[in-house]
Structures are given as C-alpha cells and as structure tokens.
Amino acid sequence: MSKIQQINRRDFVKLFGLASGGIILGCNTTTVEKKFKPTISKDYFEPNLFIQIEKNGNITLIASRSEMGQGIRTSLASAIADELEADWDYISVKQAIGHEKYGNQNTDGSRSVRTKLEPMRKMGATAKLMLITAAAQKWNVAENVCKAENHHIINTQNNEKIFYGDLVENASQLEIPDEKTVQLKKVADFKYIGKTLKSVDLKDFTHGTATYGIDVRVPNMKFAAVARCPVTFGTVKSFQKNNAEKVVGVENIIQIDRLKPPTGKFFGMLGGVAVIANNTWAAFQGKLALDIKWNKGENETFNSEEFKKTLTDRVHQAGKLVPGSRGNVNSAFKNAQQTVEATYHVPFLAHAPMEVPNATAWYQKDEIEVWAPVQDPQTARSELAHFFQIPVENITVNVTFLGGAFGRKSKSDFVVEAVAISKEIKAPVQVVWTREDDIQHSFYHATSAQYLKGGLDKNSKVTGWLQRVGFPSIVSSFKPLSDYASGFELSQGFTNNPYELQNFRLENVKAEANLRIGWLRSVVHIHSGFGINSFVDELAFAAKKDAVQFHLELIGKDRIIKGKSNYPYNSKRLKAVLNQTAKMANWGKKLPQNHGLGVAIHYSFYSYVATIVEVSVKNKNVKVENVWTTIDCGLALNKDNIKNQLEGATLFGMSLAMYGKISTENGAVEQHNFFDYQMTRIKDAPNIEIHIMDKMEEPPTGVGEPGVPVIAPAICNAIFNATGKRVRSLPLVDQGFA
Amino acid sequence: MKTDLIINKKTYTIEVQKDTPLLWVIRDIVGLTGTKFGCGVSQCGACSILLNGKLVKSCSTLVSEATGKKILTIEGTSENLEFLRQAWNAGNVPQCGYCQSGQLIAATSLLDKIEKPTDEDIDAVMSANICRCGTYSRIRKAIHKAVALKNKTL
C-alpha cells in the first residue's frame, strides 16, 4: 500500500462529480490476483481508495468493487467508519467508475474484503488522527488528551467536544500523518467491524430508486434487442426484416458481426441481428418478427446428453496424471479389504441473475461512455479499447448496481454489443437481453463427470483415493482447443483435497467445450464439493461408520499446509466447523420417519464450511426442512451480511441441486425461462441456521461463494439417509425427485 | 392510443400501442424504473404492481387493461407498504435488491387482504416471486414483523 495522500480537489471533483471541500484522502492499493492486466497509463499513479469528509459531517467512501448483492459497499464502509469513530448515519457510498486507478476492480473470487480491509482501516485511522490533531490545536492541548467518539473529538480533561464537521476545515490544512503513527484499533474495541450493520443501500432498495444497469436513462437513447444464433458461434446467413419493420416503435435493424476475442484475452461478442426501437418492448417484438437463416457452424452437432456419455466413458478410463498425486493407489486397492467406486455428474448451469444482461452505451467520435452492471469494469474498458480501437483513456465505464451477477456479469459481451450498436446508429442505446437470451447465450458453468474409487482397510480406514475428472475448461473461452481442465481449476477442491490421504491419485480427462464456458458462484468447487462429499458419504456407509466421524478421521491430524497464498490450510479449523455444525444439528438424533440428515464440508476461497441438511422425502417429494451451516471466514467484518450471504448460498445450492440443468440438442440450449430453468421459491425455503466462528484475530477470507458447494451433496446424502437411494447425477428432478 | 394512467396518485397522459405490456409503459414511457423486468412471462414477480388494489404482473398486463385504474408501484406508498418497508429495513432483507420492488408490492397485496398472514398464506402469495439471492427467510420474517409493527402502532 502506498502512502495515504491528500487529493487535489479539482481532480477529485472532475473524477467523481462530488462537491469539493473538506478532507479528501486517498491511498493506493493493488492486488496481485488478477486475471488480466489492465492497461496502465503511465500518467496515472493515483490513489484508488478515497474518502471525503465534509463540513456537514458527511463521510463519503468511493467503492471500487461492484455491488451485486454481496454487501461490499456496506462492508468496506464499515471498516473506515469503525477506525474513524464515525456515526453510521453520516456514511454514504459512491460507486467508482471503471478505471485503472482503482487497482484491480474485478469483483469475483470472494476477495474484496480479503484484499481491501487493511487499507480501508488505515484510511479511517488516518482521518481520525487528523481530526484529533485539529481539535488539539484548537483547544491548545496535547493530542493524547483528545479522543474520538461518535463523530466528535472529546477533550477528556473537561469533556468538551467538537463535531467532526466543525474540524474539517482545520484538519484539511494538516500534513498527512506518518503511516507509522497511525494505530489500528484492537479487536475488542471494534464498534462496527464484526458487528451487525444494515446495508447502506436499504432505502434505495425498498423504494425502487437504486439504479441498476437496466434503469439507466440517457437523453435520446434507443432500446435494442439482439437475435443471436441458437448454436454457439453460428453466424447470420441471411435475414428478412419486413415483418420486424412493421412493429410500431422499431426504427432500425442491423446486422452486427461476431467480435472474436484474441487468444488469451477478453470475451468478445456473439453477433447477430439487432433491432433498435424507441422502447424495449418494441425491440423485443421486432426481434421475434425477424426471419433469420443461420450458418450454425461446427457446434451444431453438440448434444449434451451424448456428451455426458462421452465424459462418463472417459472418466472410466485412465486420464492424464495431475501433479500433486502421491503414493500408489493401485497397491492400496490391491491390499484393501474392500473398494468402493462411484461416478458423479453435474450438468451445465446458467447464472440467471434477476437483472438480465444489459448495457447502455454511447459511442461518439473518439469516445465511448458506458453504463452497465459489470463485475469487471476494467476488462470491459480494455476490451472496448481493443475492439473499437479507441484509446482506453477515452472510455468511461460507469458501474451501476448489479441486479445479481453470480459470475455472469464479469463477462462483458453485452457491453460490447451495446457499443457496437451505438457506433452503427450514432446514438446512445440500451441493449436488453430477454430472459430467453440470458438462459440460451450464457457463459455456462461447465458440466462434469467424475469417477472415484476408494480403498478401505480392515479398520475401515481409507488407504487409497483415485479420482478422475472431466469438465470443459473456462480457459476455452479465451483459448480455443483448451480441451482439459486447467491447473487453476483443479486447484479448486481437487488437488487441494482436504483429507489426509497417503495414496492419492488425480487424473484429468479430455473435455471439449461446445458452449461458452464461464465461472458461476463458487465455480469448480461445485464439482469438487459434490463429488468428494458424496463419495466420502458412500465410503462411510461402506465402512459402517458415522459420516461425521468418518469425515473427521479422514481430515486427520492437525496440520497446516502452506500453499502459494498467504492463507495456509489448517485442518483443525475444518474439523472445528464440522463439530460445531454437528452440535447445532444435533447430529445422531432420532428423526421422524422419512427424514434424513446429510453432511458435507468444503474448504474454498480460504474459508472453512460445514453444512448439515435435514430432508423429508415422501413419494419422492423432497422437502429440505432444516439447514445448519458453520463458516470460519477469519475476521467476520459484517456478521449479518455474512449470514445473509450464507442463507443465499443455501438457496443457490438448492436451486442447482433440485432443478439446475442446461441441456442442448443440435447445439441449441433447450431451456428458455424460469418455467423450464427453475428456481427454488419461498414455499420450499428451509429453516436456516448459520454460525460464524469467532476468529477475529485471523485475516478475513471469502464469504460470497463458500456456502454454495456443500449444499447439493448434503441434500443428496440426506436423501440417501432418508430413502436408501443414492443420487449421483444432478439435478434431483431428473432422478424422479420433485 | 392516447390514454391516461394513474400511477401512485399522479395522472400521466401517454401515447402508446394498446397491446404494450404495462411494465414497459411504466418503465420506458412514463419513466418509473422501480418496477423491474425479470422474465416477461409472469414467472418471477419482479414486475409486480397493484392495479386497483389487485396484484398483477405488469409484464403480462396490457396497458389497455389499466386505463382509468389506480396503479401502485414501488415508487408509491400505502399504509401496509410503509410497515413492510420498516420491517424490510429492520431485517436487512435485500442483497442485490433487484427483486425487492416486486417482493414488497406482493407483500403489500398480501397484507391488504389478510391482516395476519400465516406461513401458508405467505407461501401462497410470495411463491410467485423469485429471489435469486435467496433472501426468502428474511422476507418471511419481515412480513410477520410488519404485522407486529402495525399492531403496535394502531
């Protein structure tokens, strides 16, 4: 982190459109975990985190990460407010535009808090110190008799106090204190951190006044809908637009060609036929009235059911050995008392955020301005610079609220579309995807097949573990012919299997991509969490052992494994969350008839999670009755938000376990909308109890994603315990459950 | 057609095709964007509004059906809506917030009809609304809380 600096007021006003005045502090943080290097202009070495304190006492934070429901605006603000001893009612948050000066803004990988907490706290502490100095000077007393409390500086000798706003003018004249003199609060003194804070955006959320991408209105803007080939990467052969032109409100119909990403970077856009109208509905209707002949291309033969069979055959034969394998599984199996084998499947999945992909763009001569719900505004910006040959500094990406994202909105193909259309029609335009577009043209969570084989000795100890996996790689979206899952994908739960296994062999099999593949909330952990937890349950059953006990024994002795990151894996913490959840669920209790408990644990995004699910099953009707989850995510920044995230992860996991399946026939996705790509609804929402481990001295780790991977396996294990039927292939509706 | 729409007690005179769904009239022509598009086929409830007090999906209601009727959207107010807002705040319900306009309008309709809804009453009405973030247990609690707040006030 660079030094905290005062900011030139004119620059500040220009960049953020905020009123000048008061104390404006900035600092520079950069994170090393990036997928793409944003283009760094030489002219910029600027702070990327800002706070402004005004004379009326208002404190504004510029949030550099996108808000998509994970509560990041509130979490980051709380860290500053705590160190600053601010009154929460004076805190507001302004969303930053996409710009390299913010460092990496890509909001994924459950890492915003992980990487931004300390700089935020330092900023708050620095501002507090300046206010104290200003008060001490005013009273002509030593600084150490002054303390900050609830938006005031108090003279502890006579209890006189001054409001922050009244100190701002003097404080802003001061030099920034040396970083070494800035002290952070002790955990015991936290007022907001680790407590329960309400979202800073509640009022807007409950009055319909939060501006999502789809709510952006620019004077004289048009609305557009795009017809894309049902088969991935198919192109327009010819089209008839007569009927579409007859739709009242339709103004223009143009062909936009695919923009193909260069190898290794970006997402490009699919292309198709765009209908431009004076309202969204007319654009949608015009699109339906188009008569398009497609060149469907090489993906036309892609049938997901056949692919499932192909992947299954492949995982039943030897694959490529993955580094990290150890020992000798073959001799382990030979000497085993018994071996257990099973094959698991997860289908393709779509994110289906409630707000469909959309973007508003205005291409004007050598300038582009975009308003969009993007997780990764910098990649969007670099991508636009690349495709439209406009200097990156002439491109502004305004980040709106995101009406859900779950990974979909980190791919900015919809932004590229809006710019391409705006360029053609020479007017500002909003591209809105229909729900059908969203379901049928996503960057899908990959389908997978896994084969597992385990050996048990006469004491029912696991002596060998073989796992073969196959799933199309995310890398295929950047690099054609990437036919094997990559190392970074396998490191999501496969190579870093949390169990103590001496004979461990991981193999990777070929899996071509015939759809665009992307990441979806918790990504590859969905596969690893499902396969491993289902299989451990099967091993426990074969071993005639209690599943919780079996997991604990398999995790083994207390050990710490240092990886490449600053967050070593600590087996003790994994066992602790499991023990805690077992206690909450009263594991082992007598259950009513047709009820079953199922357990799953998973380590992801450096957080430890254990979940137990109670289901009841009557006539193959599955009801998830109760869910107990414990998370150890280190320092818990905002407890209520963490609970909300884990409750949400439970429902996200339930939807994918019960219904989640995207299938294709002749290359085209067969699902359309929420009637055939279903979501869990309130009537099926279980009681959920969340426990957050008290680990305030540990660094914070991921929260948004780690609650997802455990849900599907815990449900399936519970179904087994209720019915004796194993579900090895998702979703449950395909196995006759409803 | 030229028509008057009464939205949140204000009259808007607009020129529109009569078979346009109300959702797009409210959003694109009147310019009130709090009512959301989610699916377009009455499957998700994001576009819920009250039409003469009746809960409808505006994506599947033609503008011609709304002429002369009173429309309540999330930008408006009603006694029950205000208690629900308080309860939504108290329970820190929203995550991304996108579906919450529809959730609040649907819950308003529920409380308009049933003073003290049971969990089954809540399921019956609110199951028409999808929350992809999964805030259902908070929505349920907040509806019960709104009833409690109202009883305390009255």
Domains of chain A and CATH, by start: 5-207 (3.30.365.10), 213-297+357-432 (3.30.365.10), 304-350+444-735 (3.30.365.10)
**Nearest Cα residue to A222 out of A253, A243, A245, A244:** A253
Amino acid, single-letter form, for residue B15: E
Identify the pLDDT of residue A556. 97
Nearest to B122 among A212, A432, A682 (CB): A682
Q: Inter-chain contact B95–A651, Cβ cutoff 8 Å?
A: no
Residue of A nearest to B128 (CA): A681
The fold for domain B79-153 equals: DNA polymerase; domain 1 (1.10.150)
| Neighboring chain A residues of B17 at a CB cutoff of 8 Å | 248-249, 282
More confident of the two residues A67 and B114: B114
C-alpha distances in Å from residue A111, one per residue of A49, A108, A115, A117, A705:
16, 7, 6, 10, 10
Cβ distance A682 to B85 less than 8 Å, yes or no, reads no
DSSP letter string over A307-326? Answer: HHHHHHHHHTS--EEPTT-B
Whether the CB-CB separation of A438 and A301 falls below 8 Å is answered with no
The mean pLDDT value for A197-225 works out to: 94
Inform me whether the pLDDT recorded for A31 exceeds 60.
no
Q: Give alpha helix (H) positions in A345-454.
A: 377-388, 413-425, 435-440
Instruction: Give the H or E element holding residue A285.
Output: helix A280-288
| pLDDT tens by residue, B98-149 | 999 999 999 999 999 999 999 999 999 999 999 999 999 999 999 999 999 9
> Mean of the pLDDT values across residues A593-598?
97
pLDDT attached to residue A484: 97
- Asked whether the beta carbons of residue B37 and residue A432 sit closer than 8 angstroms, the reply is yes
3-state secondary structure (DSSP) of residue A39: coil
Q: Is the peptide bond before A731 cis (omega within 30 degrees of 0)?
A: yes
CA-CA-CA-CA torsion for A532, A533, A536, A541, nearest 10 degrees? -140
Cβ <8 Å between A354 and B38: yes
Phi, psi of A306 (to 5 degrees): -65, -40
By C-alpha distance, which of A58, A84, A60 is closest to A193? A84
The tokens describing B38, both together, are 């989610």
Of A408, A358, A302, A406, the closest CA to residue A669 belongs to A302
Closest to A347 measured CA to CA, from A204, A492, A471:
A471
Contact flag A356-B37 (C-beta cutoff 8 Å): yes
B34 in contact with A, Cβ within 8 Å: yes
Task: Give A168-194 pLDDT, tens digit per residue.
Answer: 888 888 888 887 888 999 989 999 998
The distance of B153 to chain A (nearest Cα, Å) reads 21
What is the rounded distance in angstroms from the CA atom of residue B76 to the CA atom of residue B85?
12
Q: What pLDDT was estimated at residue A40?
A: 27
The DSSP secondary-structure symbol of A149 reads E
The pLDDT assigned to A3 comes to 58
Strand-pair category, A429-432 with A222-227:
parallel
Contacts of residue A175, defined as CB under 8 A and 6 or more positions apart, other chains included, come to none
A353 contacts A414 by C-beta, under 8 angstroms: no
> Smallest Cβ distance to A212: which of B28, B31, B98?
B98
| Spatial separation of the C-alpha atoms in residues A525 and A558, rounded to whole Å | 23
A223/B88 touch (CB, cutoff 8 Å), yes or no: no
Who's near A189: CB < 8 A, 6+ residues apart? none
Q: For testing the chain A interface, which of B136, B138, B145, B149 should be mutated: the one with the most A CBs within 10 Å?
A: B136
Of A364, A335, A201, A214, residue with least CA distance to A283: A214
Does B21 lie at the interface with A, CB-CB under 8 angstroms? yes
What 8-state DSSP symbol labels residue A178? Answer: P
Q: Do the Cβ atoms of A680 and B135 come within 8 Å?
A: no
At residue A29, the pLDDT reads: 55
> Is it the case that residue A69 has pLDDT exceeding 80?
no
Decide: A119 and A1 in contact? Cβ < 8 Å.
yes
Specify the 3-state DSSP secondary structure of B11. strand
Contact flag B96-A679 (C-beta cutoff 8 Å): no
With contacts defined as CB-CB under 8 Å, which chain B residues touch A404? 96, 98, 132-133
Contacting residues of B for A217, CB less than 8 Å apart: 31, 33
Average pLDDT on A569-587 reads 98
Contacts B85 to A, Cβ<8 Å: 206-207
pLDDT tens across B59-107, in order?
Answer: 999 999 999 999 999 999 999 999 999 999 999 999 999 999 999 999 9
Task: Specify the length of chain B in residues.
Answer: 154
Would you give the distance in Å from CA A439 to the centre of its chain?
Answer: 18
Residue A438 pLDDT more than 80? yes
Q: Cβ distance B45 to B84 under 8 Å?
A: no
- Residues from chain A that touch B146, judged by Cβ atoms under 8 A, are none
Q: What is the pLDDT of residue A6?
A: 62
pLDDT category of residue A312 using cuts at 50, 70 and 90:
very high
Q: Is B39 on the interface with A (CB under 8 A)?
A: yes
- What φ, ψ does residue A332 adopt, rounded to 5°? -60, -45
* pLDDT band, residue A265 (cuts 50/70/90): confident
Enumerate the domain spans of chain B. 2-72, 79-153
A125-158, pLDDT tens digit by residue?
Answer: 988 999 999 999 999 999 999 999 999 999 999 9
Computed over every residue of chain A, the mean pLDDT equals 91
Name every chain A residue with its beta carbon within 8 A of the beta carbon of B139: 682
Q: What's the whole-model pTM score?
A: 0.93
Nearest to A107 by CA among A35, A182, A199, A208: A35
Lowest mean pLDDT among A87-96, A367-376, A447-456, B138-147: A87-96
Cα distance between residue A548 and residue A582, in whole Å: 7
Please judge whether A354 and B99 are an interchain contact, meaning their C-beta atoms are less than 8 angstroms apart: yes
Q: Most B CBs within 10 Å: which of A197, A205, A688, as the mutation test of the B interface?
A: A205
3-state secondary structure of A98: strand
CATH number of B2-72: 3.10.20.30
> Is there a contact between A357 and A412 (Cβ–Cβ < 8 Å)?
no
Q: What is the CA radius of gyration of chain A?
A: 27
Query: Of A655, A637, A668, whose CA–CA distance to A715 is shortest?
Result: A655
Spatial separation of the C-alpha atoms in residues A97 and A399, rounded to whole Å: 6
Q: At A562, which amino acid appears?
A: K
Name the residue in chain A with its Cα closest to that of B18. Answer: A248
Measured distance CA(A500)–CA(A219) in Å, rounded: 62
pLDDT, residue A62, reads 77
How close, in Å, is residue A676 to chain B by CA atoms?
Answer: 10
Task: Using alpha carbons only, give the angle B110, B51, A214 rounded to the nearest 5 degrees.
Answer: 95
Percentage of chain A lying above the pLDDT 70 cut: 92
Pairing of strands A59-63, A91-95: parallel
Among the listed residues A252, A696, A620, A69, the one whose alpha carbon sits nearest the alpha carbon of residue B132: A69
Q: How far is CA A595 from CA A356, A557, A617, A685, B23, in A?
A: 38, 33, 6, 17, 44
Q: Are A528 and A521 in contact (CB under 8 A)?
A: no
- Give percent of chain A above pLDDT 90: 77
Among the listed ranges A171-180, A247-256, A366-375, A720-729, which one has the minimum average pLDDT value?
A: A171-180
CA distance A66 to chain B (A): 11
Are A66 and A380 a contacting pair, CB within 8 Å? no
Give the pLDDT confidence score for residue A37 in this predicted structure: 28
Provide the number of CB pairs (under 8 Å) joining chain A to chain B: 179
Residue A173, pLDDT score? 84
Average pLDDT over residues A718-736: 97
Partners of residue A652 in chain B, C-beta under 8 Å: 132, 134
pLDDT bracket for residue A481 (50, 70, 90): confident
Question: Taking 70 as the threshold, does the pLDDT of residue A20 lie above it?
Answer: no
Between A365 and A67, name the one with better pLDDT: A365
Q: Residues 6 or more apart from B147 whose CB is under 8 A from it? A: B83, B111, B115, B116, B117
Contact between residue B142 and residue B91 where contact means Cβ atoms under 8 Å apart: yes
Range A471-475 average pLDDT: 96
Cα→Cα distances A539→A239, A469, A535, A612, Å:
57, 18, 6, 18
| Residues from chain B contacting residue A282 (CB–CB below 8 Å) | 17
Amino acid (one-letter) located at A47: P
Half-sphere exposure of B106 (CA within 13 A, CB side): 27
The answer to whether B35 faces chain A, any CB pair under 8 Å, is: yes
Q: Which amino acid is at A372?
A: A
The pLDDT confidence band at residue A7, using thresholds 50, 70 and 90, is: low
Determine which helix (DSSP H) or strand (DSSP E) holds A580, and give its type and residue range: helix A571-585
Q: So what's the pLDDT on residue B154?
A: 73
A227 or A480, which is more confident: A227
B99 part of contact set with chain A, CB < 8 Å: yes
pLDDT in the model for residue A95: 76
User: Mean pLDDT throughout A687-707?
Assistant: 95
Q: Do the Cβ atoms of B129 and B103 come closer than 8 Å?
A: yes
Which of B32, B98, B134 is facing A403, going by the closest CB pair?
Answer: B98
Kind of pairing between the strands at A338-346 and A448-456:
antiparallel
Nearest 5°: phi and psi at A273?
Answer: -120, 125
**pLDDT score, position A104:** 66
ipTM of the complex: 0.98
- Partner residue opposite A205 with nearest CB, options B44, B94, B136: B94
Query: Which of B37, B74, B132 has the CB atom closest to A404's CB atom?
Result: B132
Q: Tell me how far apart the alpha carbons of residues B139 and B122 are, in angstroms, rounded to a whole number.
A: 9
Greater pLDDT, A478 or A390: A390
